[in-house]
Amino acid sequence: MRRSSFANWPCSIARTMDLLGDWWTPLVLREAFYGVRRFDEFQHSLGIARNTLTDRLRRLVDEGLMEKQPYQTQPVRHDYVLTEMGRDFFGVLLAMNAWGDRWLADEQGPPIVFHHDRCGHRGRPAVVCDDCGEPMTADDTRPRLGPGYPTRLAERPDVRERFAD
Using H for helix, E for strand and C for coil, what is the string for the chain? CCCCCCCCCCCHHHHHHHHHCCCHHHHHHHHHHCCCCEHHHHHHHHCCCHHHHHHHHHHHHHCCCEEEEEEEECCEEEEEEECHHHHCCHHHHHHHHHHHHHHCCCCCCCCCCEEECCCCEEECCCCECCCCCCECCCCCCCCCCCCCCCHHHHCCHHHHHHCCC
Contacting residues for 52 by C-beta, under 8 A, at least 6 apart: 24
Query: Does the structure show a pLDDT above 60 at 40?
Result: yes
With a cut of 70, say whether residue 3 has pLDDT above it.
no
pLDDT digits (tens, 9 = 90+) for 68-110: 999 999 999 999 999 999 999 999 999 999 999 999 999 999 9
Domains parsed from the chain with CATH numbers: 12-83 (1.10.10.10)
Q: What is the pLDDT of residue 1?
A: 43
pLDDT 10s digits, 124-150:
888 999 999 999 999 999 999 999 999
Mean pLDDT of 113-134: 93
pLDDT > 90: percent of the chain: 81
The whole-number pLDDT of residue 30 equals 96
